[in-house]
Amino acid sequence: MLEALMNALLSIWTWIEIGLVALSGFFVQLALAIVTWPFDRRRYVTGRCFRLVGVTAAKLTPYWRFGVHGAVPARVAPNTVCVSNHESNADPFLISHLPWEMKWLGKASLFKIPVVGWMMWMAGDIPVHRGDRDSATGAMARCREWLAKGMPVMIFPEGTRSKTDELLPFKDGAFRLAIEAQADVLPLAVSGTRRALPKHSWRFATSRGLVTVGTPISTKGMTLADVERLKEMARTQILALRAGLMPHTSGGAPASESSGAAPAA
């Protein structure tokens, strides 16, 4: 009983901490937008600001120890669709530790959240209404625009958080996008975040979360007939990457910081 009460109180404090960090970051991001938008057509500066706000919030969260595992490139090819498994609402905080900017496809409802939604919009992220074909078509078109501008995009191909350790079926959207744009697909994997902020719960839990980066998959020469093959190639990598992370996130091993990573240009 006492433990549950302490968890509730500390979880409330953690939400307050995240809110204060987000509010402070919003004003910084707004100032940067005013200064940089006239010449920053990729919204690189405001995008990186938003990701770093997420990293800061994660580092100040008493429950979380997040990091990057393994060698990570300082940058990725501009024409890249990044895909990852999805365990928790904490995943964006973790994946934001990667040293490059990318525009995220996210639920439209997130963009309606005060401060956070405004920051997502200023960062250039893309809203989509789940289950709405027209919205999905428009969101994919916006993703293609970002790729054409030399900005990678980030998509969770499961479409929602998995409640178990099993990956949900991958949707076609990210892979159709990559083939149509002849973009690389870069698999990412996260592990340890499911406990960090469980689905349908507002309470936090102690978590060692890691993200790791796979090998880019070229779509050169592929057609839409190859969507299923491309999905399977990405899924196989993600499963293998996640399996390599799980011993570090489920036991006593500390969360690793990135090795071989350099600051993004």
Q: pLDDT per residue over 185-201, tens digit each?
A: 999 999 999 989 877 78
Residues 124, 47: Cα–Cα separation, whole Å: 7
DSSP 106: E
**Contact status, residue 214 vs residue 84, Cβ threshold 8 Å:** no
Q: Which residue has the higher pLDDT, 1 or 234?
A: 234
Residues 241, 35: Cα–Cα separation, whole Å: 40
Q: Provide the 3-class DSSP secondary structure of residue 17.
A: helix
The runs of H, that is alpha helices, within 39-132 are: 44-60, 91-95, 116-123
pLDDT of residue 257: 38
* Alpha-carbon separation of residue 40 from 45, 81, 122, 146, 221 (angstroms): 7, 21, 12, 13, 32
pLDDT of residue 251: 53
* Residue 256 pLDDT greater than 80, yes or no: no
**Contact status, residue 25 vs residue 49, Cβ threshold 8 Å:** yes
Structural domains of the chain, ranges and CATH numbers in brackets: 2-249 (3.40.1130)
Pair of tokens at residue 211: 């993200």
pTM of the complete model beyond 0.85: yes
